[in-house]
Homo-oligomer: A and B are copies of this chain.
Amino acid sequence: MALVVQKYGGSSVADADGVKRVAQRIVATKKAGNDVVVVVSAMGDTTDDLIDMAEQVSPLPPARELDMLLTAGERISMALLAMAIANLGHEARSFTGSQAGVITDGTHGKAKIIDVTPGRIRTALDEGSICIVAGFQGVSQGTKDITTLGRGGSDTTAVALAAALDADVCEIYSDVDGVFTADPRIVPAARKIPRISYEEMLEMAASGAKILHLRCVEYARRYNLPIHVRSSFSQKEGTWVVDSSEIEGTDMEQAIISGVAHDRSEAKITVVGVPDKVGEAAAIFTALSEAEINIDMIVQNVSAASTGRTDISFTLPATDGQTALTALNKMKERIGFESLRYDDRIGKVSLIGAGMRSHPGVTAKFFAAIADAGVNIEMISTSEIRISVVVAQDDIDTAVAAAHRAFDLDADQVEAVVYGGTGR
């Protein structure tokens, strides 16, 4: 008997019909002979509605109370889901994050899971029950206050619980069929990736692919837990996120490039005329770090010998833009830079693929494809399995489509490659 952990997002349980449909899928999994643990998010717009209510009573609600409020959302969805399953003749019990043993630190609004002690879940499974667990929430060690995990929290709950229960697979359901080689809204020929390594998925998530959150993939990699990303609206196989050894050893025709991701949420700040002295860059990024701003890409121009000054550009979440500018302006005299430039009309396009490790020339081909499409590259950053460029926001779609085509990711091309490879 396998143990399957399933996670359903808010769009899958948006209304009573959604809840009943998901209940049927859960019962089918149980009937197929599996133990089933389900992690569920709040229904549809519940979380936004609750935040609206909070704003009506307080412009800056205390984080502890906001967590208490928001966790009502999963409480509702999980109880309804358990009822719908019971109505199909199977026993189901719902558990809050606290009851399921999701222990976190005390950082309200973005708590980190520090332990999972699913004793009650294990007991309920042993008694034959389907377990429904509230996603996104936990209880803080020590103070025993209710916490929420922040963005992507329900996915992280599911993976952490699956790891603690030594589950065979963690299925993450949403309203899309899996992980695609590019956003199908931009590249209609994008195709579903059948299998992808944790490392590539991490780079995809960090590069703006929204389907799985970074923390959840990191957790799965640490415990070597297979994730199956799929749609709750179809029975199709989705995308398996697994250890790279399981891919490279078997898929001979594994494409060099897994996909093209893009991100519209960043902005670029350029610190103009920084004196070219030891420690100036460190001072800038220390100030930003103290303001709790996550920097993504950094470029420092070669210093102009005539002026002894240089420009430093970096990208950051656009939502942190104002905070960063304020923090830097406070240091203007001490560092002695000339001015700040801010640009939020940028975007990032990233090419991700473990295959680029062993295939030279990927970078050149990527840059050529973008140049041929008439798009100017503003910044570049690379990792072992990713190349990212910053372009003007209006050029994102063009750049993504060009890269996707250049690396033979369009659906027709890929099929040709696969058929060729298997000799048919």
Contact = CB atoms under 8 A, between A and B. Distances in A.
Nearest to A19: B57
B58 A83 contact: yes
A82 B68 contact: yes
Number of copies: 2
A289 to B, nearest CB: 29
A15 to B, nearest CB: 8
Contacts of A20: 57
A65 B87 contact: no
Contact of A94 (B59, B65, B75, B83): B65
**Chain A: interface residue count, which band?**
35 or more
Interface string A40-56: 00000000001001101
A72 to B, nearest CB: 4
A396 interface: no
B83 A57 contact: yes
Is chain A's interface secondary structure helix, strand, loop, or mixed overall?
helix
B82 A76 contact: no
A368 interface: no
A357 interface: no
B82 A16 contact: no
Contacts of A57: 16, 19-20, 23, 80-81, 83-84, 87
Interface in A1-42: 16, 19-20, 23
A336 interface: no
A94 B68 contact: yes
A383 to B, nearest CB: 42
A373 interface: no
A69 interface: yes
Contact of A83 (B65, B73, B83, B93): B65
